[in-house]
Structure 1
Amino acid sequence: MTETPALHALWPAPLADGTVHATVTVPGSKSVTNRALVLAALAAEPGWVRRPLRSRDSQLMSDALRALGVGIEETASSSSGDGAGGEAWRVIPAALHGPATVDVGNAGTVMRFLPPVATLAAGDIRFDGDPRSYERPLGQVISALRTLGARIDDDGRGALPLTVQGGGALEGGVVEIDASNSSQFVSALLLSGPRFNQGVEVRHTGTTLPSMPHIRMTVEMLRAAGAQVDTPEAGGEPNVWRVAPSALLGRDVVVEPDLSNAQPFLAAALITGGTVTIRDWPRRTTQPGDELRRIFTEMGGSCELTDAGLVFTGSGKIHGIDVDLGEVGELTPGIAAVAALADSPSTLRGVAHLRLHETDRLAALTAEINGLGGEVTETADGLHIRPRPLHGGVFHTYDDHRMATAGAVIGLAVEGVQIENVATTAKTLPDFPKMWARMLSGAGA
């Protein structure tokens, strides 16, 4: 890595003293929560988002929508139509307006999904965020919105900070975009597309398109809200998505558990030869995290989907894996952590785009695992991991939530691992240290 963060707030990663047996309730999906909030804000009538993820990223999204004039009432709810209780957010659409300032933090969904929304507001909407957000790719979204009729002042940077000069509407139409660096570029345009005068036709021109499950999630949620969406999977042109102009329905959405955030808990069962049950695992989902069932089974575990949730059991052995993670790149840090403890080498492919995430995840994983005695080498599009005996030391997180949980996974099997700034897990997994401790105690999480 070219930059080493300051050493602070070291958290001793707990060492597992036996097999882990626990039942875990994972908070709601960030990806579903933030898409549901955007669609509810653009709807023609009020709606509900139930069991939302309450984390830094979702709070940034809700605060941003409030700044644009959307009403969001946070309440406790006894039940919805399908019996889902717990926290619920009532979203009341309104005429979007500025002037307003949006803090995106370092949340990709906020920095990419909301500039298209801001074009529909009357007035100037300024976007700013954490220093790392200035380095994350956004130029394709900016240029696409300009093609569709938006006025955006970014001083030629193609990145944050920027100001969207909202005119209360956007013409829309056909736009070409290279989404090789992030599928969020496509989702950003599709989510607001029903509100554009001509809708939107997004034509991806790049050679690769990572994280396709997230685009499928966007399409499914749009259709559920009443939008007409044509996709390549439905017999349309390859790499072309069309959204017709229409009003969106105010819906009652129950947010699924975040399956990617279940990863460290499933990894605990795999590493210790124990059993972990993840409550409410959906039988059908567009979340990339569902691939953990296949990947961790190949690495040595077994799983069963039951009425209680996903029951995952480790065999006590961890095998290396050769896998293309192009569609599920967010799982890479956790898989790399498990692979570093395996009995054979692993190759993780198809994830060159991770160099542009919260941090350069490929460089970060290489530096931190090697810092504990590992042997990880970067490839053009991923990592090659040759297991070596590991030792304790500081595992830096680079303000990246998935780096923090990856370090905790290694700490289960390696004594003396200290995680720098474990609090960064609050981005998508609030109270992670407490959940981790409860899982290890057998009390569940």
Structure 2
Amino acid sequence: MAKNTKGIEVAEILPDKCIACQICIGECPVGAIELSAEGVAHIDPETCIGCGKCFESCPVDAVRFEKTQKKRLTREERGMPSEGVPGYEGVAVFIEVADGAGAQVSWELVGKARELAETLKTKVMGFLLGYGVEAIARDAVAYGCDVVHVVEDPLLEHYLSGVYGKALSDLCEAVRPEIFLIGATHLGRDLAGIVATRLQTGLTADCTGLAIEEKSRLLLMTRPTFGGNIMATIFCERRRPQMSTVRPMVMKMSEKDSARKGEIHRHDWVPPEGELPVIVDFIRDVQEIGSVDIVRSSALVVAGRGACDPATFPLLEELAELVGGTIACSRPVVEAGLMPYERQVGQTGKTVAPKLYIAIGVSGAIQHLVAIQGAEKIVAINSDPKAPIFRVADVGIVGNYLQIVPELIRQLKVRMGQAK
């Protein structure tokens, strides 16, 4: 089996079998495959990461790939029970309180928790901390929780990491959920690490997919890794709860049913000993002082590396205004200092789910694609016909955006009766 200079076992094309279908080119996550002048696919061994996707996708067996497989121990050999870890039950969701109401990401996770719980044939639980949260507890039931466990105390009215960390850890130890999901907000990311550390369990952050391996009852947590070049599926065998954080807008929110019945259990709580911090004042949220929240926009016009020219931004802003949306960007535009970070879409930026997503000059790296998977309609404009963004686009236009966008604006104005 061939290896590159990095020691990675790489795939090879069998020229006499290749039919130039280019399926492997579209499947390669790192752009290591090109079509030669002879009409045969060619793999650059130094770019190849040995993932084997070209081998799996080739319809004519024209790819040689025999990656050495490590021996996988059975659960008995690893000393693990065949069906989960005893003493833990249920799928729990942390119900974050934001501006006096349950955060939207919490309701999104409750919807996903219902899917997981149905597979496991167990219940969905909400973990709610705060003060004066009776209405939020009822909302948790309406969105899909079978049981809501509430810890209510004046100390929990505002978030303090140490106080919340102890309260939520104590609740987990008392209820013992099999799975625990937390929204990957600023608060959730801080809190999840504290709770996982106190419970001495694993935590997979920023997941884009959650599923259950039914026999073992393991939570399969998928997220981008190695700079977004591959997707890794992670599971936690020996510790419980199995913990994961998920970004807002990744999971679909369930419908609210105010007639739904559920239980609300209140728990006594012993505050941490010692002197506690005193909140002097709050820094206002940036959204309150005129900043743009691209997460809430119903339409986005996104500038990528291929449209990284500030002189053309007014053109993109005009298009965004016509479709009732906001201009945003991919990571290279922020790195070039042309737009602020708050406008960045991607795994290192914001996850979005607009009704309309127009990508202009966006190549479509995995880090970007996982952040737009909730978009209802994706329109891609790119001069490179091989750009990965076209694999997920509902409408793809190949060409120079400086010619396409003005024509798109003109036609929109005609349809809207604004043409002169």
In the superposition, the TM-score normalised over structure 1's length comes to 0.28
From the CA coordinates, give the structure whose radius of gyration is larger. 2
Relative contact order, higher structure (CA 8 A, sep 6+)? 1
Question: Which structure is higher in helix share?
Answer: 1
In the superposition, the TM-score normalised over structure 2's length comes to 0.30
